[in-house]
Structure 1
Amino acid sequence: MESAAMAVLTIRAGRVLASCLMGLVFVGGLGAQVISPRQLVEVADVDELVVSPGGDMVAFRVAQASVERNTYDSTWYVQRMDGTTLARRVGEGGHLLRESDGASLAPAGVLWSPDGRYLYYRALLDGRIAVWRAAVDGSDARVMTRDPADVRSFRLSPDGQLLRYGTGATREQTGDAKWEEYDSGIHIDETIPLGQGIFQSGYLDERRSTQRLFGSDVIRSPLLARVPEHWREIDLATGRMREIPAPEPSPAPLPAALSERFKPWRQVRQEGTGRIAMLTHVAEWSGAGPKPDVELSVFVEGNGGGHLRCRAELCTDKPITGIQWRPGREEILFTLTDPEDSQAQSILRWDIKADRVFSLVHTPGLINGGRATPNACGASSEALVCVAADASHPPRLERIDLESGNRTVLFNPNAALAADMEGVPVRRLHWTDVAGRRFNGLYFPAQRTAGGAPPLFLTYYRCPGFVRGGVGDEWPLVTLAGRGISALCINAPPSELDAVTRFELGRSAIESVIDLLAASGEIDRGKVGMGGLSYGTEVTMWMAMNSDALSAASVSSIAFSPLAYTLMSISGETFFSRLRTYWQLGAPDETPAQWKRLSPAFNLDRIKVPMLMQLPEQEYQHTLDYAVPLIRDQRADLYVYPNEAHQKFQPRHKLAAYERNVDWFRFWLQGFEDPEAAKVRQYARWRTMADRHAGHSGHAARIP
């Protein structure tokens, strides 16, 4: 894992670059191994790492998709921190709770009892979100709250004798409210998310719900989300329940006056002391992407306190993204996430008294508390427990000794996939464009054949950890490479807020790496495909409108158009402000030149490449003023996935999107058609599109 050979190649690019340095890190073997889309859909993720009060046990959750049942299974485990026992299954975690954009909600909420005997967690089981308690010896797991409303949050009293929990509207109240609207007519105002159905159109947490926009133009909430929380308390010894006032919000570690002085980005108080660890941005940043120049420091309350900055070289001018205290020590554990190396993470510890920093672990991927980059590891005084994942290794649970940095695998739910990945070559690429701007990404090279250099597929946005299909997980990179199409995931660098500058930076990154790979004979520059979600969709559309580098494209989100403006403008200033800030757009008649630059609706004649659109039902209507003309002109093929949000989450839909993207790019880049009978109509449409594309471009059809 840590012993991958390093190779640095200097490649002279013919057309664009006079001289560039491209760093290649080879991971894995050189044998061919085709990883299937289903294997990627059903990767098991590990998260919610919480160390027991005694520091000897760690609890964690494993979540995995089931294509057969079109849902996710999650299970709670407990394991000794020293790895002397196998992980013990202690309770069912229920269905995954989700954000309104489809992403998994983290943290869902888990607590140890003070005596270390029980684990308390929120779970969606039997149609309700309740607090469950599992005995860590595996002997018992039971529901602790049987409330007519779903539990939003919970806490234990310091002695562990009282369970306190908060709820919103009851399930019956929510049902009554939606049917009352249904019967009387739904009033259209700034809370209505136009562009999706307005009655029970949301589908999250294994249930259909009516959604509203409360103070946001994109973040959706349940119909009665603004009902104040109602709190109850259960005596765990007697079972007695009573109503209690809503607890005061937990105060920020720093008092308001000090917070205004230091303006910390992140702050963490050490329990039982007056020490507060802080991360502070030391330079102004008004662009898009990670903010640079983070300072690590600690504030000590009291007469003998003060503000101490970490001045060691290893913590100065570094991309620090996370901090946590080492229990029982005057040490801060901090994480570096390298934006110039596919967000590769390292963990270090700062001895505050000595002002010395010790490097513990460096990885080519993520080493944290789960799949999301900022998630924290579980910590005891002796060790960290983290989830490790990189481009060649799916998620696994590891123990990291806090003195030696030695790593031990505690739990590996993806062992079979990890064995298959041993035959998949991966390279970490670094390159510069003609202006000297630096880029990086992860490259999965296809095996060369007698037919010449392979085609290339690329996606642009973020590539952390075990990269399955880019942001949104829709383009199975290792599957494409196994099928003869080299695949590249590019990390978008920090950029200015100016939209044209931002998109042109993406274009330069893409065109320069195509030049590099083509100049070295690695890929066929005449057969390049691209796909992306959200910002990745925007850059894909920009390339389709402004570059001749692509042969085919695939998108899964919207690009701005007059129709999208009309639908989203119901949100008022919240929407208008975001539009001005990130895209410099007003109404189409106010900023016509910018609309002409950015929107595909005004650039239909410039979109030359065939376009696959696999969109969620929540968003597809926003695209119709440019999607329909492209479809009618046989330049686009549109699929809409029911009950899906910004990021598709239903396993069957994820699998369908993966497989169709493989079919799409093999068709356009390799001339290949899967003989499966169910795909006959799909290929008939695409052959018609190929004929239209050939006639439009004046070249012979690439597909027979």
Structure 2
Amino acid sequence: MLISLVLGIAGAGAAAVPAAPASQDCASSLEVHPTLAKPRAIVDRDLIETLDLGPNAPLESGPYFTVSPDNARVAVGVRRASIAGDSYCTGIYVIDRDRGARLIDSGPGVSFFRFDNFYGTNGFPSGVTKLITPRWSADGTLLAFLKLVDGKLELRLWDGTRTVKPVTVGTHDIVDFRFGDDGRSIIYKARDESSARLALREESLTGYRFDDRYFPFASNLPWPSGIPTYRYEAVNLGDGSVRAASEAEKQLMTAKEVEAHGTRDVHAKTVPDANGVGRLVAGPIGKEHPCPSAACAEVEGEPWIAAPNVVGYVRREGWARSEMAIYEWTIGSAEPRRLYSTSNLLSNCTPFGTDLLCGREGSTRPRYLDRINLRTGTSTSLFEPNPNFGKLALGRVERLHWTNDRGIECFGDLTYPPDYQRGRRYPLIVVQYESRGFLRGGTGDEFPVQLFARDGYLVLTVQRPRSPFFGQGLSAIERQRRQNEGFAERRSILSAIETKVTQLVEAGLADPERIGITGLSDGSTTVQFAALHSKLFKAASVSGCCWEPSQTWLSGPSLQNYYHELGWPASPEDDPRMWSDISLTRNASRVAFPILIQAADGEYLVALEAIRALRAANSPVDLFVFPDEVHIKRHPAARASIYRRNLRWFDFWLSGKRPTSDSGDAEEAARWADMQQKWRTDRIASVSQRPLEIGRAPHQPPKARQ
């Protein structure tokens, strides 16, 4: 998918959709209490309506929970979606060390991250929820946080009583803040879009020039050029007066979190090496020492000062970097000391008294706050936001390790149906392209792992393997160019999937005639490539599609110029061999399986060229467009519909299931049956006449080009 190459760009800002209806009691919605007396089957709301901590993707740096200066309390932002209301509620919990938790504030709506710099423009949406960091004053008597009010992020202040007070500072969206050194003020950063909006409004009267501000696949209007305008101001908490922030105060917006990273005299940080891998550096400010050990690489998140002259940190290690381990390094020593290891996903780890407090999630357990005792290697849940989840009848999850045909280490997870019977073959669905932490619905949360398992499917969740060119010290651009040459990386990813699927078939677990594949973003690109280069899969569902010659005009000038740098053709006529390897349009009669596309209205245009060609070739394809959506779907009701249609799609194509005639889904199934009949009549013969290289067994090397 076009956008898959660009979602790593950093930025700030927020967009809000949608708010809870006035009738919804957000305080009640955000309550945490067990309600299930006995196990039951999982349903869609169990996944979509979890009480979530932190953003749904790490596009912003910073903590999503913070510990008070006296190590007695923890503040964390929460949110819960509502399918029925197609809305969200958000709030702030404060948890005492003895595990007592109270919701100090709640309200409707949620904010979403927008890019500060999207190819020279700003404000481009992502669908990723914005990071909300509650912050304590230096003396721990006050807690400040951002709250969405009428579509705008505002400051709120809590003094430990029952009342949360607004901090009124103006009409602009606040994106970040810090307590001032004086303890009596808050320094904040507000996004001022008024001048950009006015300029675009005035330009509209004479017509917009089609230039680098345009991304036609997303909008028929240009985006504001340049970086956004920010105001840096300080509000006095005593009298409410507002003034411009000093230069020193502005630096607070980018300064490291002293309480998380160390002291004013000694600090720790990570520095990326030539391959972008974070390596540990620590010591007195201005005299930092790099840790020389290989065990000081692959650092995740921010390190902390664990004791005088001792740094703690979390790193990825083990097979395909699938494990997370906690280390301590005495500054200046040769080797760090390994204290703890887990296959769970840890995030935002920070000291909490003599323990370490981390966000933690397992394959069948949504994120919670876990208190880890590094001396004993044990842990205790401090805040469990979803106590009912453990009572659901879930499929067992097994961690798998293997290598692809290039010898690259791979890992993933196999989820079994809850009523799995040994010796029986099951239909299999592949979900991409992350398999760390809670297995909700793959990247973008559209392919519900446990709902597939509930309905009788094996589910293989695959972690995207490292690039074949990792570790060669290449620049990001050069690595991308090498990856695109002959689709080297795409072949590596497909081999990772095919290898494990083949092993599951050979082990007698998966039915080779009933294998599906799914994907969003980079995952949908893998599905598109598999449609022309694999015989393993019998049906597919993607969130968006496709890499086609029309991208040369639909992507817009600046994005297309970037793609050209990476080796993509500059026009539909350039490099026909490259298009022949990826374009569904130019290979419509060779597409190996039916494809369901459930796209955002901000992205569906890039699928139309392929849709037309596939329909003309009687290759089964169906497209659904969801309004007011972007790359990561934002609306809870839309996500529930996507879940359900994905289940119906695979039931139809892999299991031959049809809804009853009086079902609301009967018309949909009749349309798919018509596609199936035409495809069987007109296409099976041509699909079976592919070159030998296409659909090669995973252990075979690719055929050399002549």
TM-score tier, shorter chain, comes to 0.7 to 0.9
1:307 aligned residue:
289
**Secondary structure of 1:332's match?**
strand
438-447 or 625-634, larger mean C-alpha shift: 625-634
The 2-side partners of 1:431 and 1:32 are apart by: 34
Q: Partners of 2:409 and 2:534 in 1: how far apart?
A: 20
Which residue is 1:21 aligned to?
Answer: none
Equivalent residues of 2:266, 2:282 under 8 A apart: no
Matches within 5 A, 1:290-369: 295-301=279-285, 305=287, 307=289, 309-311=291-293, 315=295, 319-326=298-305, 329-338=308-317, 340=319, 343-352=322-331, 357-368=336-347
CA 1:668 to 1:342, structure 2 compared with 1: closer, same or farther past 3 Å?
farther
* Corresponding residue of 2:524: 537
Superposed CA offset, 1:120-179 (max 9, x none): 112211232211112334x111210251222233222112201222333366x6765665
Distance 2:168 2:317 in 1: 43
Q: Deviations over 1:581-609 (max 9, x none)?
A: 2x543333332321222222222122131
CA distance in 1, matches of 2:350, 2:422: 50
Aligned position for 1:219: none
Once residues 680 and 423 of structure 2 are traced to their aligned partners in structure 1, the CA distance between those partners, rounded to angstroms, is: 22
Change beyond 3 A, Cα 1:380–1:698: closer
CA distance in 2, matches of 1:306, 1:388: 30
CA contact (8 A) 2:77 2:134 kept: no
Structure 1 residue 127 and structure 2 residue 148: aligned?
no
Alignment of 1:236 with 2:225, yes or no, is no
For 2:263, give the aligned amino acid: E
| Number of the residue aligned with 2:538 | 551
Bigger drift between 107-116 and 245-254 goes to 245-254
Structure 1 residue ranges without an equivalent (≥5)? 1-30, 200-210, 216-224, 255-267, 286-290, 369-375, 700-704
Q: Say which SS state the counterpart of residue 229 (structure 1) adopts.
A: strand
Aligned to 2:695: none
2:499 matches 1:517: no
Deviations 1:196-231 (A, max 9, x none): 3335xxxxxxxxxxx71646xxxxxxxxx63x3233
**What is the aligned partner in structure 2 of residue 90 from structure 1?**
104
Please give the residue correspondences for 1:142-541 in structure 2 after superposition, counting only pairs within 5 Å: 142-169=165-192, 180=202, 184-198=206-220, 212=223, 214=225, 226=228, 228-244=229-245, 247-249=249-251, 270-281=262-273, 284-285=274-275, 295-301=279-285, 305=287, 307=289, 309-311=291-293, 315=295, 319-326=298-305, 329-338=308-317, 340=319, 343-352=322-331, 357-368=336-347, 376-420=348-392, 423-433=394-404, 435-446=406-417, 447-448=419-420, 452-495=424-467, 496=469, 497=480, 498-499=483-484, 500-541=487-528
Structure 1 551/339 Cα, relative in aligned 2: closer, same or farther at 3 Å? farther
Task: Return the alpha-carbon distance in structure 2 between the equivalents of residues 698 and 53 of structure 1.
Answer: 67
* Change in 2 beyond 3 A, CA 1:619/1:156: same
CA contact (8 A) 2:268 2:303 kept: no
Does the CA-based 8 Å contact 1:360-1:404 persist in structure 2? Answer: no
Aligned-partner Cα distance in 2 for 1:239–1:253: 25
Q: Which amino acid aligns with 2:146?
A: R
Please tell me whether the aligned partners of residues 191 and 231 of structure 2 are also in contact (alpha carbons under 8 angstroms): yes
What's the offset of the Cα at 1:557? 2.1
**Which string of whole-angstrom CA distances, capped at 9 and with x for unpartnered residues, describes residues 524-569 of structure 1?**
0111110101110000011111111110111112322121221224
Change (3 A) 1:32 1:328: closer
TM-superposed deviation, 1:480: 0.7
- CA shift, 1:350, in A, is 2.2
Residue 103 to residue 335, structure 1, CA distance change in 2 (3 Å): farther
| Paired letter, 1:168 | R
Output the amino acid matched with 2:415: F
Structure 2 partner of 1:11: none
Give SS of 2:302's match: strand
Find the counterpart in structure 2 of residue 72 from structure 1. Answer: 88
- Matched to 2:330, the amino acid is D
Alpha-carbon offset, residue 181 of structure 1: 5.2
Q: Matched residue pairs, number? A: 607
Question: How far does residue 278 in structure 1 lie from its aligned partner after superposition?
Answer: 3.4
Aligned partner of 1:261 in structure 2 is none
Tell me, what secondary structure is at the counterpart of 1:212? coil
1:53 is aligned to 69
Q: Structure 1 CA distance, aligned partners of 2:224 and 2:399?
A: 41
Deviation at 1:385, TM superposition (A): 1.7
Instruction: Provide closer, same or farther for how the CA distance between residues 548 and 113 of structure 1 changes in structure 2, counting only shifts above 3 A.
Output: same
* SS of corresponding position for 2:90: strand
Q: For the structure 1 residues 310 and 297, does the alpha-carbon distance in structure 2 shift closer, same or farther, using more than 3 Å as the test? A: farther
Relative to structure 1, is the Cα distance of residues 450 and 170 closer, same or farther in structure 2, using a 3 angstrom cutoff?
Answer: closer
Instruction: Give me the CA root mean square deviation.
Output: 2.9
Q: What TM-score do the two structures reach when normalised by structure 2?
A: 0.79
Residue 643 (structure 1) aligns with: 628
Report SS of the residue matched to 1:501.
helix
State how far apart, in whole Å, the 1-side matches of 2:232 and 2:175 are: 10
Displacement of 1:55 after TM fit?
2.0
Cα offset, 1:508, TM superposition: 1.4
2:360 alignment partner, SS class: strand
Please state how far the C-alpha of 1:486 moved relative to its aligned partner. 0.8
Query: Partner amino acid for 2:153?
Result: I
Structure 1 window deviating more from structure 2 (510-519 vs 542-551): it is: 510-519
2:665 — aligned with what?
Answer: 679
Structure 1 CA distance, aligned partners of 2:606 and 2:101? 47
What letter corresponds to residue 614 of structure 2 in structure 1?
A: L
* 2:613 aligned counterpart, secondary structure: helix
Q: Deviations over 1:317-353 (max 9, x none)?
A: x533233213653222211224745844222222336
Q: Which residue of 2 aligns with 1:691?
A: 677
Counterpart secondary structure, 2:491: helix
Contact conserved, 1:76 with 1:93, CA < 8 A, in 2?
A: no
Is 2:414–2:460's contact at 8 Å kept on the other side of the alignment?
yes
Residues 1:599 and 1:409: Cα distance change in structure 2 (over 3 Å)? same
Counterpart AA for 2:539:
A
Structure 2 distance, partners of 1:130, 1:121, is 8
CA separation of 1:612 and 1:440: change in aligned 2, threshold 3 A: same
Give the Cα separation in 1 of the matches to 2:514 and 2:316: 33
Q: C-alpha separation between the residues in 1 aligned to 2:663 and 2:176?
A: 50
Report if the CA contact (8 A) 2:76-2:133 is conserved: no
- Of residues 411-420 and 232-241 in structure 1, the stretch that sits farther from structure 2 once superposed is 232-241
Question: Is the contact made by 1:49 and 1:377 (CA closer than 8 Å) also made in structure 2?
Answer: no
Q: TM-score, normalised by structure 1?
A: 0.80
The equivalent of 2:12 in structure 1 is none
Q: Is the 8 A contact 1:439 1:509 kept in 2?
A: yes
Distance in structure 2 (CA, Å) of the matches to 1:354 and 1:152: 40
Query: How has the CA–CA distance of structure 1 residues 42 and 595 changed in structure 2, closer, same or farther, with 3 Å as cutoff?
Result: same
Match for residue 612 of structure 1 among 596, 600, 612:
596
Unpaired segments of 5 or more residues in structure 2?
1-37, 55-63, 115-124, 470-479, 686-706
Query: Counterpart of 2:474?
Result: none
Does the aligned pair in 1 maintain the 2:99–2:383 contact within 8 Å?
A: no
Aligned-partner Cα distance in 2 for 1:68–1:562: 40
C-alpha displacement of 1:522: 0.2
3-state secondary structure, aligned to 1:91: strand
Partner residue of 2:574 out of 564, 571, 590 = 590
Q: For residue 606 of structure 1, what is the amino acid of its counterpart?
A: R
Quote how far apart the aligned CAs of 1:96 are.
2.4
- Contact 1:49/1:385 (<8 A) preserved: no
> What SS does the corresponding residue of 1:562 show, helix, strand or coil?
coil
Q: What is the match of residue 264 of structure 1?
A: none
Whole-Å separation in 2 of the counterparts to 1:698 and 1:102 = 39
Structure 2 counterpart SS, 1:527 = strand
Give yes or no for contact 2:441–2:447 (8 Å, CA) kept in 1.
Answer: yes
Q: Which amino acid aligns with 2:154?
A: A
